[in-house]
Amino acid sequence: MDEFERSLKTHPLLEDLEPAYVQLIAACATSVGFRAGDLLIREGEREDTLYLIVRGTITIEVTRPGSAPSCVETIGAGDVLGVAQLTPATAHLDCRARETVVAIAIDNAALHRAMDDDPRFGYALATRMLARTYHRLARARLQQLDVYR
């Protein structure tokens, strides 16, 4: 098993997923790296890639006119970036590598085709992504409450 395959199989999103389904994902995935400061996703651009983070930290930033970017969340190893993009969408925030980042980049269009072709695979992956999305939504709501004020 090479490093790429190991990273894919051991990523928390795909943990215990049927090997055949992991192979479907591997078919539309590639290993990528980013240097500190690189943008993985830029606000306003089409989100065509799903990233499974293997190593490093990514800041999710929002920029207000006249002020420096403000980080609203950091994500790291084991997390997923672009998890909500089960349908074509435009990025609403910048996602920047804070340090060297290693990730598995999955082509969204190819992934969606595979999910359409095999609805069982599509359902298995969609429920995992939905669970993560819900978890992050719950945390975002708590963050929005600004409870420490």
Partner 1 sequence: MSANPYAVAPLTIARAVRELADVFTWTFDVPGGFAFRPGQFNMLYVHGVGEVPISISGDPAEPERLVHTIRAVGHVTCVMDRLVEGCVLGVRGPYGSAWPVDELKGRDVLVIAGGLGLAPLRPAILRLLAQRADYGRVTVLYGARTPADLLFRDELARWRGRFDLRVEATVDRAGHDWYGPVGVVTRLIDGVPLGHDDAVLICGPEIMMRFVARELEQRGVARDRIWISMERSMKCGVGLCGHCQLAGSFVCKDGPVYRFDRIAPFLQVKEL
Residues in contact with partner 1 by CB under 8 A are 57, 59-60, 68-74, 76, 78, 98, 138-139, 142-143, 145-149
Alpha helices in the chain (DSSP H): 3-10, 19-26, 108-117, 119-144
- State residue 110 phi and psi, 5-degree precision: -65, -40
* CB 17, CB 124: distance < 8 Å: yes
Nearer to partner 1, 92 or 120 (CB): 92
Write down the least CB distance from residue 46 to partner 1, Å.
25
DSSP state of 73: E
Question: 3-state class of 47 per DSSP?
Answer: coil
Nearer to partner 1, 24 or 80 (CB): 80
Task: Count helices and strands (H / E) in the chain.
Answer: 4, 8
Rounded to whole angstroms, how far apart are CA atoms 51 and 77? 11
Nearer to partner 1, 82 or 122 (CB): 82
Write down the least CB distance from residue 105 to partner 1, Å.
23
Write down the least CB distance from residue 123 to partner 1, Å.
23
Nearer to partner 1, 20 or 62 (CB): 62
Write down the least CB distance from residue 87 to partner 1, Å.
25
